[in-house]
Chains A and B, each alone.
Chain A
Amino acid sequence: MSGVLHATGDLVGDRYEVANYIGQGGMQEVYRVHDQLLERDVVLKSPKNPTAKKRFSRSATLSARVNHDNVAKTLDYVEEDDRFYLVEELIEGCDLGHFLKNYVAMLDPFAAGRVMHHLAKGLAASHHVNVIHRDLKPTNVMVVGGRDFIGFKITDFGIAKMAQEEIQEAVAGDEEGLTSSQTALGALPYMAPETIDDMKHAGKPADVWAIAALTFEILTGKRPFGAGYKAVPLIQAAQVPPLPAPLISKSQFTPFVTAIFDLIKLCMQKDPAARPTADQLVAACEGLYYSTVPREFGTIKRFDNNNWGFATTVGSDIFCHVDSVYAEPALAIGERVWMSPYPGSPSRRAFPIVKAK
């Protein structure tokens, strides 16, 4: 794939040399560029619709106010030849949407808790400087290290403001209207009830709701109210569906899943004023227990007696017991798994284990 706006080798702002096209969403194209002045690679974002200039530059100054490790850093803003560009820290990795789609669809409660904690930190920093995100969703969360799942950074602050009317119209319309707007379709599952009524109501509590909706998705593999037009009345009713039984069927996971789910429910109350602030959410996340041991991917090569088997990895084999598998009753030969290894004999032992793609 390539972008429409630029080709490899183009020089922007007398400083940024286009290396390659990264991707696009509904509103902007994203490129990896080389900053010739500071000799490092960064990311260049430019809106597809150049008439949205005022809103784009506004979103740039908004994101530039936020300074936190869990937020992608805004480095520069360039206007040139009727076009305008935001320069952002390059995050080597992928976005969380890509991670869920291509690597692991449902994270165990330890990984999910860590994501929620880090996103809450980034959100709290932005709320401290009165910046509201408005469009928190998996594709606006960058996963540092991609498959290595090292850290998490929120990106694209306030950019949804550019598409506010479009989203509003699509959500208030019908199925067809919604599917015709990629941006509205992507935003909807994480929208708070008050923003469905009117995007102008997108305040800090709507961001807290969105983080919880996102956490619900990574913990269960499903969006709380589904996607598409049928989600609208469900979001408005704000009845968070209960946890699917398999998620709480194994005692090794139950207390941790429940702790996160309680937080999710707290953040997804219909009344925005009843939700915790980002700071309160951070404080609650500081009380979550999880382990930070790095994860590995593997493939089940033996699963003999329904209870245990072994996975091959890039390193040595790992022993996998069914009790350590989150939300699944069993594993089968050939299945991909994502897990933390611990010392054991003759093989390392995995905990927790989740299915991977």
Chain B
Amino acid sequence: MKLPPRYEKVGSSFCGGGMSTAFKCKDKHLDRHVLVKVLQPGVDQKRILDEVKALSAIRSKHVVQIYDVLKDSSGAVTALVEEFLPGQDMNAVIPIKDVDTFLRYVYAIACGLADIHVVGVVHRDIKPNNMKIDAEGCLRIFDFGLSRTDGVNCETIGTIGTLGYIAPELCAPPNQKVNFTTAVDVFAFGATALKLVRGKLPNNLRTIPPSLPSADADFTSQTLTLPPEIAAILNQCLSKKAARRPSMETVRDTVGRHLLHGRHKATMIVGEKIHYLEKIGQSVKLSAGSLGSVNVSYNGYNFIATNVVGDVFINNMNIVPPQNLPGACVITLGAPSLGVRRRYITFDVTHPEVVL
């Protein structure tokens, strides 16, 4: 294919998974490198149209940016131009040895996939190969060459994807139609997370269909000790039944909560005095003599009210201990009938923001 004069090939081409050939090019208009992905002859044109459609629809900081499409003399789309991401893919950073780094990567992938799914796109080829960390440290998902944009219910014929990341429901005999949803990406996400911790996928996953459940694929028994809730939700991502897998949104929010583990700070104003509660396991007793008292403790995720004695209200609500406190509240000690003799303590939770 002859490139328009705007784009100038830099270096040699490399292959993109059998359907397209990719070149690094210089975009002379903006003086920057771009990637030109050309459909290989004989490959169904729908592949590139789907990829273009998916990339233009998605708005996510974790997804590669599309800039242009190129057409042949008959007006048919034959190539797309996207942002050039230098550096190595995620396979270069595995296995990951510390929990915080692992959680940050998994959070970024989950954010990206949630953004992809929210516009009705299924990626269908999620794996460490198709992700990179950009120059600013932001994880980016690319290669939408297998993606589908027709909403949450799609069908396909034959098994497609990459061995080890293929969801069980996609493994049908040849020529048989199978229906699939965004849950196939959730499965591949689970397999990706597993590869990040293990460095290699277990053989049980590398069969068609994957043989599950598998002890090797259990996130609770890897060398990296994960918080139980994280291990549990990642295990769910590898559920045999698509319906049992969580949504990427749920995964994202769960991992996001863990990224803030132990980093909250509660600011309490008692009278004119400021007190802070921010250490895991720390607890304070708030009391006003005989009016009432309550214990508040921090478990790393929430501030929990226990040991309620007398009349204690939170934002004017009765407490049912143990109760998680809202992010901002007023704790009132004393019955409403006491009027001005009641005591008020403001309680506000803040935390640093994790911006990836």
Residues of A at the B interface (CB closer than 8 Å) are 37-40, 60-61, 64-65, 67-69, 73-78, 110, 114, 117-118, 121, 125, 128-129, 251-252, 254-256, 286-293, 319, 321, 323-324, 340, 342-346, 348-349, 351
Bitwise interface map of B from 26 to 70 toward A, beta carbon under 8 Å scored 1, else 0:
000111100000000000000000001100110001000111110
Q: Would B30 and A323 count as touching, CB distance under 8 A?
A: no
Residue of B273, B330, B349, B350 touching A349 (CB-CB under 8 A) = B330
Q: Establish whether residues A73 and B65, one from each chain, have CB atoms under 8 Å apart when the complex forms.
A: yes
Of B273, B351, B355, most A-chain CB atoms within 10 Å: B355
B29 adjacent to A251 (CB under 8 Å)? no
Report whether B348 and A351 are in contact in the complex, using a CB–CB cutoff of 8 Å: yes
Q: Which of B30, B135, B267, B346 contacts A61 (CB 8 A)?
A: B30
Chain A minimum-CB-distance residue to B276: A255
Shortest distance between the CB of B181 and any CB in chain A (Å): 24
A288 and B355 CA atoms in complex are apart in Å by 12
CB neighbours (8 Å) of A68 from chain B are 136, 138
- Among B237-245, B304-312, B321-329, which stretch is in contact with chain A? B321-329
Which residue of chain B has the shortest Cβ distance to A65 in the bound complex? B32
8 contacts between A and B (CB under 8 A): A38-B68, A64-B31, A252-B269, A289-B265, A289-B351, A342-B327, A349-B328, A349-B330
CB-contacts of B123-149 with A (<8 A): 134-136, 138
Contacts A38-B69, A342-B315 given; 15 further ones with Cβ under 8 A?
A37-B68, A60-B30, A67-B136, A68-B136, A69-B61, A73-B65, A128-B136, A287-B352, A290-B350, A290-B351, A293-B328, A321-B330, A348-B315, A349-B326, A349-B330
Complex CA gap A254/B350 in Å reads 14
Whether A37 lies near B69 (C-beta < 8 A) is yes
- Across the interface, do B353 and A292 meet the contact criterion of CB distance under 8 Å? yes
* A67-B135, A342-B327, A351-B348 known; A251-B31 Cβ under 8 A: no
**Is A291 a contact partner of B267 (Cβ separation < 8 A)?**
no
**Option from B52, B316, B330, B350 in Cβ contact (under 8 Å) with A110:** B350
Given contacts A76-B29, A77-B29, contact A289 B134 (CB under 8 A): no
Among residues of A, the one whose C-beta sits closest to the C-beta of B69 is A37
Chain A CB within 8 A of B83 CB? yes
Chain B min CB distance to A127 (Å): 11
Taking a contact as CB atoms under 8 Å apart, the answer to whether B327 and A118 are in contact is no
Q: CA A39 – CA B55 in complex, angstroms?
A: 11
A85 to chain B, nearest CB (A): 11
Does B76 reach chain A (CB closer than 8 Å)?
no
CB neighbours (8 Å) of B326 from chain A are 342-344, 349
Find the B residue at minimum CB distance from A77: B29
Q: CB of B320 within 8 A of chain A? A: no
Q: Is the CB of A342 within 8 A of B328?
A: yes
| Closest chain B residue to A66, Cβ basis | B136
CB distance from B25 to the nearest CB of A (A): 14
Contact of B316 among A67, A69, A252, A344 (CB under 8 A): A344
Shortest Cβ gap from A265 to chain B (Å): 21
CB distance from B142 to the nearest CB of A (A): 14
Residue of A nearest to B314 (CB): A344
